[in-house]
């Protein structure tokens, strides 16, 4: 959604790195008969050297299967071109939005592509793949020298949290989340200045702004009812802002009663009030994320909860003078555990390498190339998004949205939250709790029912032995 979740997807995008992922159970059952892999499959291995630290075999085929969403796939093709030149081969490239449907049977049959961008609406469950032993441990990549400065290892140039984002209950890293996504409530600075509106700091101030936007004939928020967990980009992080990181961690860790604390009640109660006052754009419940963005860029709503990929994804309908900006998390006020300015930000757009692919070294080498300055500059300049390489945007001319995201991230300092429920328990977050959120925003249930349902779903996930479990280390 870039990673809509991870965003995208989210998730990612997003994440988170994102939209609906294949449920963990489906993936596990599909792979159950093939966990051993094809032991007779030839694996390309070459001689390691200073210029070839991962031991890529010259001329060996490499297959790349990537999500072609909000970020497109031209930036990956650019890296593939550099790979082709270095290793005397033409990478077999497939760009698609149907990652899960196309790759699930290939994993089940032990014929996966080597290199994948596992993002988008139908992405595979990365956590389940890792637990099934289907993904290559990328630690050799982390320990390899960077292309720009061989004195530095890849792990030395990544933004803090990037390695952890790709770990799933172990010290091994199974996914490199390439895009660094800033999440929040996005708005047109031009619109706000023209109307004399100030971005709010608290729930009460946001409710008051809703009255002003409604009087101007503009909804306060819109959201994609087809993928209601977009609202979770704000909602879960707001729980962490109000109650502290330990409250958010308890939700991630599926702790007993994690949803029944005051911070959750306060945040979900705020969304109940927004719905009761009809501050969401009518018809949002039937929209996709693209339709949501179009309504917003056309001025039908003041705010959307989204990731920083939105500047590129919504570009076709965004006016040139929109002056895109992102607002940090609103909360209860001075009683919150974390201050105003706190952000939800995380590495997203997960790239993975198949453990039983034909050219795993080549898959890692393509990632190493993508982390070189030439490639990160290309990504930031063309996609309008940050990468996971620390300081990679320095010296570049940033677009309004990217400049706003960068400034917000700098202002947040250490106050950056990342709700792991969104990539650890994809089905729980996107489907089960997502359905509750859809009902909450249309007034079908109240905050108490949302909390009751979320806790019940969390407890059921905890007891389900077929779902891989993770804990904050």
% of the chain beyond a pLDDT of 70: 91
Which among 121, 73, 16 is positioned nearest to 350, based on CA atoms? 16
| Residue 364: pLDDT over 70 | yes
Separation CA 429–CA 20 (nearest Å): 10
Can you tell me the mean pLDDT for 405-430?
Answer: 92
Q: Judge whether residue 34 has pLDDT over 50.
A: no
User: If pLDDT is split at 50, 70 and 90, which confidence band does 41 have?
Assistant: low
Cα angle 80-82-84, degrees, rounded to a multiple of 5: 70
User: Band of the pLDDT at 4, cuts 50, 70, 90?
Assistant: very low
Reduced 3-state DSSP string for the chain: CCCEEECCEEECEECECCCCCCCHHHHHHHHHHHCCCCCCCCCCCCCCCCCCCCCCCCCCCCEEEEECECCECHHHHHHHHHHHHHHCCCCEEEEECCHHHHHHHHHHCCCCCCEEECCCCCCCCHHHHHHCCCECCCHHHHHCECCCCCCCEHHHHECCCHHHHCECCCCCECCEEEEEEEEEEEEEHHHHHHHCCCCCCEHHHHHHHHHHHHHCCCEEEECCCCCHHHHHHHHHHHHHHHHCHHHHHHHHCCCCCCCCCHHHHHHHHHHHHHHHCCCECCCHHHCCHHHHHHHHHCCCEEEEEEECCHHHHCCCCCCCCCCEEEECCCECCCCCCCCCCCEEEEEEEEEEEECCCCCHHHHHHHHHHHCCHHHHHHHHHHHCCEECECCCCCCCCCCHHHHHHHHHHHHHCCCEECCCHHHHCHHHHHHHHHHHHHHHHCCCCCHHHHHHHHHHHHHHHHHCCCCCCCCCC
Q: Return d(Cα 386, Cα 391) in angstroms, integer.
A: 9
Q: Tell me if the bond preceding 264 is cis, omega within 30° of 0.
A: no
Residue 43, pLDDT > 90, answer no
Average pLDDT, the chain: 90
Of residues 65 and 38, which shows the higher confidence score? 65
Tens digits of residue pLDDT in 187-231: 999 999 999 999 999 999 999 999 999 999 999 999 999 999 999
pLDDT band for 300, please (50, 70, 90 cuts): very high
pLDDT of residue 42: 60
Statement: residue 38 has pLDDT above 60: no
Asked whether the domain spanning 184-344 has the same topology as the one spanning 24-181+345-413, the reply is: yes
CATH 1.10.1240.10 is right for the domain spanning 24-181+345-413: no
Give phi and psi for 218, each to the nearest 5.
-125, 130
Q: Using alpha carbons only, give the angle 334, 336, 341 rounded to the nearest 5 degrees.
A: 85
92-101, 135-144, 290-299, 464-473: least confident range: 464-473
Average pLDDT over residues 313-341: 97
Asked if residue 19 has pLDDT above 50, the reply is no
Distances (CA, A) of 7 to 34, 286, 307, 442: 29, 21, 7, 25
Contact (Cβ atoms closer than 8 angstroms) between residue 291 and residue 224: yes
Question: According to the model, what pLDDT value does residue 15 have?
Answer: 33
Average pLDDT of span 350-361: 96
- What is the reported pLDDT for 33? 32
pLDDT at residue 226, as a whole number: 95
Q: How many residues does the chain have?
A: 473
Please tell me the predicted confidence (pLDDT) of residue 16: 31
Q: What percent of the chain has pLDDT over 90?
A: 77
Do the Cβ atoms of 299 and 191 come closer than 8 Å?
yes
Rounded to an integer, what distance in angstroms lies between the CA atom of residue 243 and that of residue 262?
Answer: 8
> Is residue 28 over pLDDT 50?
no
**pLDDT tops 60 at residue 7:** no
Distance from chain centroid for Cα 146: 25
CA–CA gap between residue 193 and residue 189 (Å, rounded): 6
In this structure, of 165-174, 288-297, 350-359, the range with the lowest mean pLDDT score is 165-174
pLDDT at 161: 84
Where in the chain are the domains?
Answer: 24-181+345-413, 184-344
Virtual CA dihedral for 16, 18, 19, 22, nearest 10 degrees?
-80
Q: Which of 164, 173, 168 is nearest to 141 (CA)?
A: 173
Question: Is CATH 3.90.700.10 what the domain over 184-344 is classified as, yes or no?
Answer: no
Question: Rounded to whole angstroms, how far apart are CA atoms 468 and 346?
Answer: 22
């Amino acid at each position: 959604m870039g990673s809509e979740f991870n965003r995208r997807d989210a998730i990612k995008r997003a994440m988170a790195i994102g939209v609906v992922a294949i449920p963990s159970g489906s993936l596990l059952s599909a792979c159950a008969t093939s966990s051993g892999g094809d032991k007779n499959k030839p694996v390309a291995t070459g001689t390691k050297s200073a210029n070839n630290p991962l031991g890529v075999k010259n001329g060996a085929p490499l297959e790349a299967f990537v999500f072609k969403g909000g970020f497109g796939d031209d930036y990956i093709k650019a890296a593939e071109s550099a790979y082709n030149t270095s290793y005397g081969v033409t990478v077999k490239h497939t760009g698609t939005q149907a990652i899960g449907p196309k790759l699930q049977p290939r994993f089940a049959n032990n014929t996966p592509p080597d290199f994948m961008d596992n993002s988008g609406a139908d992405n595979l469950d990365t956590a389940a793949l890792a637990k099934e032993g289907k993904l290559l441990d990328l630690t050799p990549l982390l320990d390899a020298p960077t292309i720009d400065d061989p004195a530095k290892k890849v792990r030395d140039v990544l933004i803090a949290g990037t390695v952890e984002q790709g770990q799933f209950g172990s010290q091994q890293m199974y996914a490199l989340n390439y895009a660094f996504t800033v999440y929040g409530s996005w708005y047109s600075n031009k619109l706000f200045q023209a109307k004399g509106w100030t971005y709010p700091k608290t729930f009460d101030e946001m409710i008051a702004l809703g009255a002003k936007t409604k009087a101007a004939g503009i909804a306060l928020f819109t959201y994609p009812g087809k993928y209601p967990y977009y609202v979770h980009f704000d909602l879960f992080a707001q729980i962490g802002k109000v109650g502290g990181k330990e409250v958010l961690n308890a939700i991630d860790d599926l702790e007993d009663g994690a949803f029944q604390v005051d911070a959750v009640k306060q945040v979900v109660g705020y969304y109940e009030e927004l719905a009761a006052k009809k501050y969401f754009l009518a018809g949002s419940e039937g929209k996709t994320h693209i339709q949501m963005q179009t309504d917003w860029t056309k001025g039908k709503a003041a705010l959307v909860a989204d990731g920083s990929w939105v500047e590129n994804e919504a570009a076709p309908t965004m006016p040139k003078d929109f002056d895109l900006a992102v607002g940090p998390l609103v909360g209860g006020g001075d009683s919150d555990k974390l201050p105003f300015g706190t952000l939800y930000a995380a590495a997203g757009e997960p790239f993975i390498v198949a453990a039983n692919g034909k050219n795993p070294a080549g898959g890692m080498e393509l990632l190493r190339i993508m982390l070189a300055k030439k490639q990160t500059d290309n990504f930031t300049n063309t996609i309008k998004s940050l990468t996971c390489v620390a300081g990679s945007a320095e010296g570049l001319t940033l677009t309004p949205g990217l400049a706003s995201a960068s400034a917000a991230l700098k202002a947040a300092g250490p106050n950056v939250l990342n709700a792991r429920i969104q990539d650890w328990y994809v089905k729980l977050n996107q489907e089960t709790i997502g359905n509750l959120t859809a009902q909450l925003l249309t007034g079908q249930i109240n905050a108490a029912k949302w909390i009751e349902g979320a806790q019940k779903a969390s407890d059921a996930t905890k007891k389900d032995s077929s779902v891989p479990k993770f804990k904050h280390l």
